Structures are given as C-alpha cells and as structure tokens.
Amino acid sequence: MTANTQSTSPRQGYSVTHGARLIVAASLLLASLATAQSAPRYAKADAIKRGEMLAKENCSSCHAIGIKGDSPNPKSPPFRTLSQRYQLEALEEALGEGITMGHGEANMPHFIFEPDDIGDLISYLKKINRR
C-alpha cells in the first residue's frame, strides 16, 4: 500500500514541474516579442538628429539642408522646399530604391540607404518642411 502511493507521486511531481517550465519559457518569449514591437529603437528627437547628420554628410555639398540658406549647387532644391513638390512619404520609397529621380545630370552619387537611415532622414525633412 505504501509502495503504491510512493510510485505515483514522483511522476506527478515531474509533470507539474515540466509544465511550469514550459509556461515560463512561453511567457518569456511573449514578453520579448512584446518589447521588440512596442519599444522604439530610440526617441524621435534622436531620429531627427541622426537624419540631419545623414543629410549633412551625404547631401549638403549640393543641397541647402537647413531652415535657411541657399544650396551650394544652385540647381539643387533646398531640402526645406521638398514638400512643395513631393509627398515626403513618397520620397521615403525613392530613397529606399536608391534615389535617381531628378538627379540625371548632376553627377549625383547613387544612394541606397538602410530603412532605419531613411526613416531618420524623413523625420528630419518633415521637421524642416513644417513651416
């Protein structure tokens, strides 16, 4: 009689622990998925700042990139005027594919940006075009 009770309880103990471990693993996975989706990589202000840096490094030799001033290359539209001719969202796509539009005779380097960089650049463009 005593032997019988002892032989079943270890099995029960095992399966409870095992089940609990699976639940912990599953909820850890869910928690990390939730964090990955909801937490922004960095704050919006940082995105704008990075976008400005990118514009300065890659575009400012021809385009005026600030809220005032003329473009060094007079054929290049100042960035603060781009939204008069473009949906900035459409620009996002063009930048992702490597911008060639309108750059025909400008000896313009062929840019292909990472999606994160494009997002930053667009954030910056949105900021200087909102006036």
Chain-centroid distance of CA 106 in Å reads 29
Do 48 and 41 meet the contact criterion of CB atoms below 8 Å apart? no
* Of 20, 28, 31, 101, the one binding ligand HEC by CB under 6 A: 101
Question: 34 vs 90, which CB is nearer to ligand HEC?
Answer: 90
Amino acid found at 66: G
- Closer residue to ligand HEC in complex, CB, 61/87: 61
For residues 47-76, which are near ligand HEC according to CB under 6 A? 58-59, 61-63, 73, 75-76
Question: Minimal distance in Å, beta carbon 54 to ligand HEC?
Answer: 7
Q: Which residues bind ligand HEC (CB under 6 A)?
A: 58-59, 61-63, 73, 75-77, 82, 85, 91, 99, 101-104, 106-108, 111
